[in-house]
Each structure stands twice: as structure tokens, then as C-alpha cells.
């Protein structure tokens, strides 16, 4: 019976039981135990999200780590994890579609001025507002991986002009795909809506800063569902205050939960979401995680194993 250490920050035993139930459909002998329990010292793999990584040093039987989400930056920040231990991420079409729905929702709220109508409703004002012509807008997608490529295609199919940027070359029908460090400037200056879906790596940390925001068109909309560390928060606030960024829709932050005294709450053109744009679904992700656990136990390299040099 493979023992799997389980940890997901700010959750209860109920979630662990749900995962065990789903995983056993594909791997009946799996046993999930709390990562911090004595039982976890028998674990050959660990299924984790923002876990206390120091605990992993006590697991002498550990052969592999599986992230409970698409991102693995919460694991890679610990340099002490031996290179021989594979780190696996989830690549789930359900999550990709969920993210696409959230990005589309955010963009349509911006284009149709939903927030303006919400304010009018509160004062019983029955009046049309200016609607942006979506045909004249260009959307830039930063990160064209398993999620970003789906978002880009869905926006294109809705009639938006879409460009993308990624570290390596991508080919997506209907999408102008830019790649490499030198080409990101093109999206920054040419797009009206900027959507960050990048993985967090040393090269993407603080990528959206004062210099980059200054190169965006005045009145741009900025959407971040990547990681909070992609953004220099004070620089974003400054550009939102001046109106250079007309709207910012955020789902991720440097500190989560977002502190109640954070300046983001006070800025009227910044919209706050609590990191829910694309949550992991045990029902749809269980099969690939069960397979990863099987591979780890058999000494095989699981699908979606992270390249530590790239950070994803």
C-alpha cells in the first residue's frame, strides 16, 4: 500500500479525505496521511501545496513530490530537495478552461464597463455607458503554456485580436506568438489588455514593474492570474492612481490572504479576487495524480515532471 503524505495550506482533513476517495478510483491501495503526522515518515511520495518544506527532510522513503496545483514555485524555493526526487505538476484541461472562463469574464467586465453599471444600479441611474469596441482592442497573453494557450484560443474564437508571448517558440492558429526576451516589448507597447499567466521563475519575478507599466498604452487593463511576485505592487498602484492603468483585475498577491490593510483594497480601479481563478478539481485531476504516484513507486519518470532549470 503506497503511503502518500498530504498537505494543503489552510485546509482541513475533509479535503484530504476527498482526495483519497478520488485517487482510490484509479489506485485502490493508496493511503493518504497528513504530512505532519508520524505516519508520513513511511511516505514514498507527497501531494502538497505550500507545505512546510523542512518536513520533507524527515521523510527518508520519499521518492517524489506532486504539486496540488499547476505552479511549483512553492516547492522549488527549497534548494535542499535532492535532484533525484522528481517534482510533478498538474496539467488539467478542466483547470485550463476554468482559467479561460475567468479571464474572459474579467475582459468582458472591462469592455462592457460592468463596474460602472454596478455603481449606477446602486443610485438607481438608468443610463447607457460607453462601450469599448472589442474589434479595435488587442489582448496580450503572457505565458502560452497548458493554460495560456487555451485562454488565447478561446479569446480568439470570441472575436478578439490576440497576441502571445512565451520563453520558447509556440504555434497557435490565429494567434501571433512572440517568444524570447527581446520580443516581450512588442506586446507591452502594442496591446490594450495584458494578461499574466506566466510561471514564476527568477527571470519572471517582478517582470511587471514601473518601466514595463510605463510602456503600456494609457488606459490599459492589467489582469494577473499568474503569481503575485510577478508584479511590483507599489508600481501597479502608482499607475492605477494616475489612470495610466485604467483597470487592474488581480487573483494573486505577494502575501495571501491579502492583508486587510493592503493598499490594493483602497484603489477603486483595482478588482480583488481571492486566488480562485482556476482551482484544482480532485475529480478531474485525480487520474493523472494517481498515475504519477504509480510512476514514482515504480521508479519511473512521471508525466509533467518539472525541469528544475526552467522552473516549470
Domain-located, residue 307: no
Torsion angle (degrees, nearest 10) of CA 132, 227, 146, 103: -20
Number of domains making up the chain: 2
User: Which grid coordinates are listed for 57?
Assistant: 527532510
Average pLDDT over all residues of the chain: 96
Residue 311 confidence (pLDDT): 87
CA angle, residues 223, 227, 228, in degrees to nearest 5: 85
pTM confidence score: 0.94
pLDDT digits (tens, 9 = 90+) for 253-296: 999 999 999 999 999 999 999 999 999 999 999 999 999 999 99
Do 155 and 233 lie in one domain? The reply is: yes
Name the pairing type of β-strands 3-8 and 45-49: parallel
Domain-located, residue 36: yes
User: Which grid coordinates are listed for 154?
Assistant: 478561446
Do 126 and 264 lie in one domain? The reply is: yes
Do 124 and 152 lie in one domain? The reply is: yes
Domain-located, residue 305: no
Q: In the predicted model, what is the mean pLDDT of residues 214-223?
A: 98
Do 226 and 145 lie in one domain? The reply is: yes
Domain-located, residue 304: no
Confidence at 129, pLDDT banded by 50, 70, 90? very high
CATH code, 293: 3.40.50.720
| Three-state SS letters, 42-97 | HCCEEEEECCCHHHHHHCCCCCEEEECCCCCHHHHCCCCCCCCCCEECCCCHHHHH
Do 131 and 264 lie in one domain? The reply is: yes
Residue 9 confidence (pLDDT): 87
Do 157 and 225 lie in one domain? The reply is: yes
Distance CA 11, CA 15 (A): 7
Domain-located, residue 58: yes
Range of the domain at 210: 93-272
Top-confidence residue, 273 or 310: 273
pLDDT digits (tens, 9 = 90+) for 35-70: 999 999 999 999 999 999 999 999 999 999 999 988
Distance CA 59, CA 36 (A): 10
Amino acid at each position: 500500500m503506497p503511503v502518500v503524505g498530504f498537505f494543503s495550506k489552510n485546509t482541513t482533513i475533509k479535503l484530504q479525505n476527498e482526495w483519497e476517495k478520488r485517487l482510490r478510483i484509479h489506485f485502490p491501495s493508496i493511503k493518504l496521511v497528513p504530512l505532519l503526522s508520524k505516519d508520513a515518515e513511511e511516505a514514498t511520495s507527497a501531494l502538497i501545496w505550500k507545505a512546510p518544506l523542512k518536513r520533507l527532510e524527515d521523510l527518508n522513503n520519499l521518492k517524489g513530490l506532486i504539486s496540488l496545483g499547476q505552479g511549483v514555485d512553492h516547492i522549488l524555493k527549497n534548494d535542499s530537495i535532492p535532484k533525484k526526487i522528481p517534482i510533478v505538476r498538474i496539467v488539467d484541461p478542466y483547470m485550463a478552461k476554468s482559467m479561460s472562463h475567468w479571464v474572459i469574464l474579467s475582459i468582458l467586465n472591462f469592455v462592457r464597463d460592468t463596474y460602472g453599471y454596478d455603481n449606477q444600479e446602486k443610485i438607481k441611474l438608468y443610463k447607457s455607458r460607453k462601450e469599448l469596441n472589442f474589434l479595435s482592442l488587442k489582448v496580450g497573453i503572457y505565458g502560452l503554456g497548458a493554460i495560456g494557450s487555451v485562454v488565447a484560443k478561446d479569446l480568439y474564437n470570441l472575436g478578439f485580436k490576440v497576441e502571445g508571448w512565451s520563453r520558447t517558440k509556440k504555434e497557435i492558429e490565429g494567434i501571433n506568438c512572440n517568444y524570447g526576451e527581446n520580443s516581450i516589448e512588442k506586446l507591452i507597447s502594442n496591446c490594450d489588455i495584458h494578461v499574466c499567466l506566466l510561471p514564476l521563475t527568477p527571470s519572471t519575478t517582478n517582470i511587471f514593474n514601473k518601466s514595463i507599466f510605463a510602456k503600456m498604452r494609457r488606459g490599459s487593463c492589467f489582469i494577473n492570474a499568474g503569481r503575485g511576485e510577478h508584479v511590483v505592487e507599489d508600481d501597479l498602484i502608482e499607475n492605477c492612481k494616475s489612470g495610466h492603468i485604467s483597470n487592474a483585475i488581480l487573483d494573486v498577491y505577494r502575501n495571501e490572504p491579502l492583508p486587510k490593510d493592503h493598499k490594493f483594497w483602497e484603489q477603486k480601479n483595482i478588482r480583488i479576487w481571492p486566488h480562485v481563478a482556476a482551482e484544482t478539481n480532485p475529480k478531474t485531476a485525480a487520474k493523472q495524480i494517481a498515475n504519477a504516484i504509480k510512476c514514482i513507486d515504480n521508479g519511473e519518470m512521471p508525466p509533467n515532471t518539472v525541469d528544475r532549470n526552467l522552473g516549470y
